[in-house]
Amino acid sequence: MRIGVLCSGGDSPGMNAAIRGAVLRGVDVHGFDMVGFMDGWRGFHEGEWIPLDRSTVRGLSPLGGVMLGTSRARPFVHGDGDESDMRVIRERMAEYGLDGFLLIGGNGTQTVAKMLNDAGIRAIGLPKTIDNDLGGTDYTFGFDTAVSIACEAVDRLRTTGESHRRCMVLEVMGRNAGWIALHAGMAGGAQVTLIPEHPESIEQICEWVLSVRNRGRSSLVVVAEGFKPTGFDDEVTREGLDGFGRPRLGGIAEVLAPLIESRTGIETRATVLGHVQRGGSPTAFDRVLATRTGLAAADAVKEGLWGTMMALRGDSIEFVSLEEAVSRLKTVPADRYEQARLNFG
Amino acid sequence: MRIGVLCSGGDSPGMNAAIRGAVLRGVDVHGFDMVGFMDGWRGFHEGEWIPLDRSTVRGLSPLGGVMLGTSRARPFVHGDGDESDMRVIRERMAEYGLDGFLLIGGNGTQTVAKMLNDAGIRAIGLPKTIDNDLGGTDYTFGFDTAVSIACEAVDRLRTTGESHRRCMVLEVMGRNAGWIALHAGMAGGAQVTLIPEHPESIEQICEWVLSVRNRGRSSLVVVAEGFKPTGFDDEVTREGLDGFGRPRLGGIAEVLAPLIESRTGIETRATVLGHVQRGGSPTAFDRVLATRTGLAAADAVKEGLWGTMMALRGDSIEFVSLEEAVSRLKTVPADRYEQARLNFG
Amino acid sequence: MRIGVLCSGGDSPGMNAAIRGAVLRGVDVHGFDMVGFMDGWRGFHEGEWIPLDRSTVRGLSPLGGVMLGTSRARPFVHGDGDESDMRVIRERMAEYGLDGFLLIGGNGTQTVAKMLNDAGIRAIGLPKTIDNDLGGTDYTFGFDTAVSIACEAVDRLRTTGESHRRCMVLEVMGRNAGWIALHAGMAGGAQVTLIPEHPESIEQICEWVLSVRNRGRSSLVVVAEGFKPTGFDDEVTREGLDGFGRPRLGGIAEVLAPLIESRTGIETRATVLGHVQRGGSPTAFDRVLATRTGLAAADAVKEGLWGTMMALRGDSIEFVSLEEAVSRLKTVPADRYEQARLNFG
Amino acid sequence: MRIGVLCSGGDSPGMNAAIRGAVLRGVDVHGFDMVGFMDGWRGFHEGEWIPLDRSTVRGLSPLGGVMLGTSRARPFVHGDGDESDMRVIRERMAEYGLDGFLLIGGNGTQTVAKMLNDAGIRAIGLPKTIDNDLGGTDYTFGFDTAVSIACEAVDRLRTTGESHRRCMVLEVMGRNAGWIALHAGMAGGAQVTLIPEHPESIEQICEWVLSVRNRGRSSLVVVAEGFKPTGFDDEVTREGLDGFGRPRLGGIAEVLAPLIESRTGIETRATVLGHVQRGGSPTAFDRVLATRTGLAAADAVKEGLWGTMMALRGDSIEFVSLEEAVSRLKTVPADRYEQARLNFG
């Protein structure tokens, strides 16, 4: 049995541990032959791969990034996954002697995994996204590390904010789902947390910030990159939003900070945390989750469970159908957000 | 409604966040009157308490330890929880005007909560143990922080171990359950992980260590404090174990290290991580879990769900019966341990 | 002897430890009466102050920010330090019963300290700046913490940069001096480090980035916020620089990244680290340096060494004249920068 | 010019960065041929070495431990450095084509470097010791990392100590010099710091601990492993010290804790930090210091400055004679210790 491993989409702390887990169990326990394609589908289509065995995955667990590289290179060279695309993939698999894939990636990648499987090409999904917006699983590896880094930034900004009696606005990742903001805001005791799922008006945000000042404290606002304020009018647009309420330049934090400052009279500073959220050594939680995900994926191959994705359910790794996993984006439900608002204003 | 909060047993990172969550929701949302007893049952019996409101819990989320103090002082002053003990508790409650308890603690504390509830004294449990050995919940707050610290120690010991070609033995907490060792060992890529639930012989351990050396690496052994080697004979006993296979002096790591060194000829060093595992600022994971546990406990009071414990199930906080929670110690099952052995030897 | 403590300018990790050191030694050993003004000169002029003693400084050493607050409020209410300004200060000192000042701040603050002292108002300087650009002292507290945070960001960005084969540009603080960039770049093994003292052309920067790619690696560029590329022409200006070579919008990293990407064809991403560099718990190095600075300042008061600044020289804290300290901005000398270029390209 | 690099003694964070700095400058700038011997003198005598160039030192700066390995293998195979020993070394150098050595190590290694140089064998010293007890230099790389880890342990133990109203005793490294204890104790605000240079009686220690309790706090005692209490009598000896005042078993912390508990009635716990102090990724400070030490060593070779050691003086790396460096152990002077006692009791 020869299995190809590839990573697609943005990198996520834990990808190395997942590869290591899959290889230690796949090669040493189940006796598979395993290869890794470099930079995702690019390596697959260009024939750049390396053998994976115990020695190649040695010491990988604590390392950030991913040793195979990852990219957004397209799996389908002709179209969006039609039969001619599948034919290309089948031909290359024959060329490499591949029996199936382990695909490490987020929503897009798991959707590809499902399409492959529907077309009779064996694939198993390992979910990975720092945004935690993938269905079917409690958490994805990378999320805990991103939250930890964001929470550490909240802790740091708070001390400087309080010392200067400033309002500090921290932008964290999360284009469609506000999980990182929700957790980092709750962990750090943010006074305002803003997420894409729950738009708020500039007026409401400023009211919270003033209320915090009135009880003698300085505000810490955590905002997900995908948040869009409601009710903006022409004036707001001129100040920094385009016609669709999106920031004209820079991140949303850089739009909000001057608006808050001009309306509340409180000195306000923006920080856009950016790429540091996805880098560096994974937390112990993510290393364990990723390793177990890899182990389970190797077992799924052994048991012929093609078309499944490895999912965390409680303290167990379970096999869920790819269909369930990609059927919806997992966003923050209203009651979870309502809990986080406890500390607001 | 006046609610008393008290902490019992060893401290666990996140206790402050749990108190803060319970108070912010209990006082500000549900309108309770809340008080905190100092040093657990000592403060209750000696009448030492403080009022709990928004200002007393300000900024608590990132802080380790617990601002109320905690102790192993006994709840029952006469016996083991007979009617005369309950009468004392009821009298004091009347004196303080208390309607019920939030009890933050581990197995022992949750057992007390159940006894109180069975005797008609209202109590709700907030589970806390770095050992993660409490039933009914996926994880307890404090565990993730302890694992993170243990994992960081593994990372550190590995570099010095490899540089000196030494075997490094790290002892982590876990008297009855090996969860910390299991997770830290998997996260850090330990070559041997030893837990109380799965005794191994010195011979087997040495065989693994030699096998690691033979493939050119240095061993990192993670051992839970409650691990006991099997099959020790008189010679072993003389070397450091008493008649029951327990270490004569110091921790189990200090017993194992010289045994490994003398039998394998590989220089071996022991480190007993100790109390640092339970201290310091909680991880973001534990802060979120603890805050949500506190929020849920306040809601449980509101809904009259006395006799329940707040439990993490997947990504939800659920109310489980105290009976379920304390019915068994949650130990590491064989299949979880078997996964961790993947990297052994 | 009654001594007033105040902080001016941006906050710097270690300010709390410095206050604690000065108070523990000033009050407990030398028997001074000490008070702290809130938010720098604002508190002084508005009469907002707190007494400082052992209990008020308890537990301060590990805390970021500064418990007294800091601001850029002006010391001189009429002019730039003329006699009428000094008269106001003398009157308030008489009102508060103050005998002298401990002034914690950077270049501007130490210049004020010198002016006060020249006008017969007793002042002693405690140097603080994360930028490390103050003369007369080897290092200022806050710098080591800022470098640590910047270095950690380099480590994190490197893993994601390598995984995506991207060039990552990290902007760190340093408007006039490139010390943070120099140290973080050397510690993190940056392939390009850009500082205000040593302008480089876009062409040179791109050449280095291409050279790194040609030997199979991904570039990590660390740039100080005050860096300005040389030789930019109209095209560059249109792309993001104003007529003086300063970035039109956002930080310099956000200007450089698209220029590098368009000229090298290598995907390039910018991160502006921002305020997190000055926040959070100080490193052990900064805590020790700050504590010793505070201790020495109390001793300087005792010995009547007004007009001095506490300076680190080797492993000693020495008393240097304020004149020496403020006579020049300490920038990165050419030979230090040349060493850092070792790894370039 | 062919230069051999070897490491001797315990590992110290920064050794990899030092090797990288020496190689990048030695090979790429000065054109040397460089080789590294594995495991110190063992590799030299057994002919196990690797070539050192840009690719072998790639990415080394953040890594703990040392890629060449280190050991306490003896340089002198016949005696203590007599002519027959030197002859062996000269013969092997001829065999390998070596022109000189870069020796990375502590006091013992620098003494060997001096002996070699006196015998006409070219050697340059790179000082390394986490204990910071080497003369001629302000600090050695590794020390800052060790202090950081010890300080972090103080922070962690403090929260658990305060929560349980316990006295916590932390043992850190430092057999002959108390620098780590001094700095970690000052950074963490320890109430008692005990170092080998300044013996104290059990009675005095207990008095401090009681005094801390009397003002409502819990004690944190930092003790260097080489500390020995004074004035112990037979009773003390029976409790855990041998006839020379050394701990009978375990570390000094494990001796002190029960003595403090039995004499003060305050629950007391010991933690021996151990090997984690020397492991893991170096701090930014140590990475910069180590890199600069390596760069300077390559320059020293270029300039023929054999017989020198690279020393940090203020913010400069200077060349000091090996004689000066090894002439005395650098211990904590009385005035530095007196400052640290500020917070005692």
Chain C interface, mutation test: which of A267, A275, A287, most C Cβ atoms within 10 Å?
Answer: A275
- Shared-domain flag, residues A172 and A206: yes
**Interval D159-186: pLDDT, tens:** 999 999 999 999 999 999 999 999 999 9
Shortest CB distance from A65 goes to which of C71, C159, C280? C159
C82 domain-assigned: yes
For residue C237, the model assigns a pLDDT of: 47
- Shared-domain flag, residues A114 and A190: no
For residue D340, the model assigns a pLDDT of: 82
Helices B15-23 + B284-302 axis angle, to 10: 40
Which residues from B are below 8 Å from D155, CB to CB? 279-280
- Residues of D annotated in the binding site for Mg(2+), as ranges? 107
B15 domain-assigned: yes
- Shared-domain flag, residues C108 and C212: no
Per-residue pLDDT band for A279 (boundaries 50, 70, 90) equals confident
Residue D248 has pLDDT above 70, yes or no: no
For residue B240, the model assigns a pLDDT of: 55
Per-residue pLDDT band for B251 (boundaries 50, 70, 90) equals confident
Contact check, Cβ <8 Å, D144/C25: no
Q: Which of D143, D118, D117, D119 lies closest to D300 in space, CA to CA? A: D117
- Shared-domain flag, residues D192 and D253: yes
Q: What count of residues does chain C have?
A: 345
Per-residue pLDDT band for D237 (boundaries 50, 70, 90) equals very low
Rg (CA), chain B: 22
Top-confidence residue, B15 or A235: B15
- Shared-domain flag, residues B67 and B166: no
C107 annotated ligand binder: yes
Contact check, Cβ <8 Å, C11/A269: no
Q: The domain that contains B308 carries what CATH number?
A: 3.40.50.450
* Span of A185-194, B229-238, C267-276 with lowest mean pLDDT: B229-238
Per-residue pLDDT band for B139 (boundaries 50, 70, 90) equals very high
Q: Which two tokens stand for residue B69?
A: 């103090």
Per-residue pLDDT band for A342 (boundaries 50, 70, 90) equals confident
| Domain end position, chosen among D244, D278, D312 | D278
Cβ atoms of residues C42 and C70 within 8 Å: no
Which residues from B are below 8 Å from A150, CB to CB? 284
Residue D297 has pLDDT above 60, yes or no: yes
Q: What is the mean pLDDT of residues A120-142?
A: 96
* Span of A3-12, C22-31, C74-83, D335-344 with lowest mean pLDDT: D335-344
Which residues from C are below 8 Å from A154, CB to CB? none
Top-confidence residue, D250 or B100: B100
Q: What is the mean pLDDT of residues A293-301?
A: 97
Q: Which of A271, A193, A192, A194 lies closest to A230 in space, CA to CA? A: A194
Contact check, Cβ <8 Å, D65/B168: no
Give strand pairing partners of D35: D4, D51
Residue A125: its H or E element: strand A123-127
D342 domain-assigned: no
Q: What count of residues does chain B have?
A: 345
For residue D219, the distance in angstroms to the closest alpha carbon of chain B comes to 15
Q: What is the mean pLDDT of residues A341-345?
A: 67
Which residues from B are below 8 Å from A288, CB to CB? 147, 183, 186-187
Contact check, Cβ <8 Å, C343/D283: no
What residues of B act catalytically?
Answer: 131
Bridging pattern class, strands D167-172 and D49-52:
unpaired
Q: Which two tokens stand for residue A286?
A: 């993510």
For residue C18, the distance in angstroms to the closest alpha carbon of chain D comes to 11
D337 domain-assigned: no
Q: What is the mean pLDDT of residues B295-304?
A: 98
Residue with tokens 């290359």: A92
- Shared-domain flag, residues A113 and A193: no
Query: Phi/psi at D220 (nearest 5 deg)?
Result: -120, 115
Mean pLDDT (chain A, rounded): 93
Shortest CB distance from D148 goes to which of C21, C187, C283? C283
* Span of A170-174, B68-72, B236-240, D8-12 with lowest mean pLDDT: B236-240
A131 annotated ligand binder: yes
Residue B204 has pLDDT above 80, yes or no: yes
**Interval C183-236: pLDDT, tens:** 999 999 999 999 999 999 999 999 999 999 999 999 999 999 999 998 765 455
Which among D131, D133, D144, D299 is annotated as catalytic?
D131
Q: Neighbouring chains of D at 3+ CB pairs within 8 Å?
A: B, C
Helices (H), A178-273: 179-188, 202-214, 234-240, 252-264
Interface of B with A (CB under 8 A): 20-21, 24-25, 28-29, 58-62, 138-139, 144, 147-148, 150-152, 155, 183-184, 186-189, 217, 281, 283-285, 287-288, 291-292, 295, 313-315, 339, 342-343
Contact check, Cβ <8 Å, B153/D278: no
Contact check, Cβ <8 Å, A156/C149: yes
How many beta carbons lie within 10 A of that of residue C216, not counting itself? 9
- Shared-domain flag, residues D55 and D204: no
Residue D299 has pLDDT above 80, yes or no: yes
- Shared-domain flag, residues A11 and A112: yes
Q: Which two tokens stand for residue C37?
A: 């003004």
Q: The domain that contains D267 carries what CATH number?
A: 3.40.50.460
Is residue C11 flagged as an active site residue?
no
ipTM attached to this prediction: 0.94
| Domain end position, chosen among A220, A250, A278 | A278
Q: What is the mean pLDDT of residues C324-332?
A: 91
Mean pLDDT (chain D, rounded): 93
C341 domain-assigned: no
Residue A237 has pLDDT above 50, yes or no: no
For residue B304, the distance in angstroms to the closest alpha carbon of chain D comes to 30
What residues of A act catalytically?
Answer: 131
B72 annotated ligand binder: yes
- Shared-domain flag, residues C205 and C123: no
Which among C11, C39, C85, C131 is annotated as catalytic?
C131
Residue C41 has pLDDT above 80, yes or no: yes
Query: Phi/psi at D271 (nearest 5 deg)?
Result: -130, 130
**Interval A79-118: pLDDT, tens:** 899 999 999 999 999 999 999 999 999 999 999 999 999 9
What is the span of the domain harbouring residue B205? 145-278
- Shared-domain flag, residues C126 and C154: no
Chain B interface, mutation test: which of D48, D149, D164, most B Cβ atoms within 10 Å?
Answer: D164
Q: What string of DSSP letters covers D35-103?
A: EEETTTHHHHHHT-EEEE-TTTTTT-TT--S-TT--B---S-SSSSS-HHHHHHHHHHHHHHT--EEEE
Q: What is the mean pLDDT of residues C156-168?
A: 96
The count of domains in chain B is 2
- What's the whole-model pTM score? 0.95
Q: What is the mean pLDDT of residues C48-62?
A: 96
- Shared-domain flag, residues A130 and A222: no
Residue B99 has pLDDT above 60, yes or no: yes
For residue B241, the model assigns a pLDDT of: 57
Mean pLDDT (chain C, rounded): 93
C343 domain-assigned: no
For residue D260, the distance in angstroms to the closest alpha carbon of chain C comes to 23
Residue D239 has pLDDT above 70, yes or no: no
- Shared-domain flag, residues D40 and D118: yes
Residue A189 has pLDDT above 50, yes or no: yes
B335 domain-assigned: no
How many beta carbons lie within 10 A of that of residue A168, not counting itself? 31
Instruction: Give the 3-state DSSP-derived string for chain B, with helices as H, strands as E and coil as C.
Output: CEEEEEEECCCCCCHHHHHHHHHHHHHHHCCCEEEEECCCHHHHHHCCEEEECCCCCCCCCCCCCCCCCCECCCCCCCCCCCHHHHHHHHHHHHHHCCCEEEEEECHHHHHHHHHHHHCCCCEEEEEECCCCCECCCCCCECHHHHHHHHHHHHHHHHHHHHHHCCEEEEEECCCCCCHHHHHHHHHHCCCEEECCCCCCEHHHHHHHHHHHHHCCCCCEEEEECCCCCECCCHHHHHHHECCCCCECCCCHHHHHHHHHHHHHCCCEEEEECHHHHHCCCCCHHHHHHHHHHHHHHHHHHHCCCCCEEEEEECCEEEEEEHHHHHCCECCCCHHHHHHHHHHCC
A340 domain-assigned: no
**Interval A39-88: pLDDT, tens:** 999 999 999 999 999 999 999 999 999 999 999 999 999 989 999 999 99
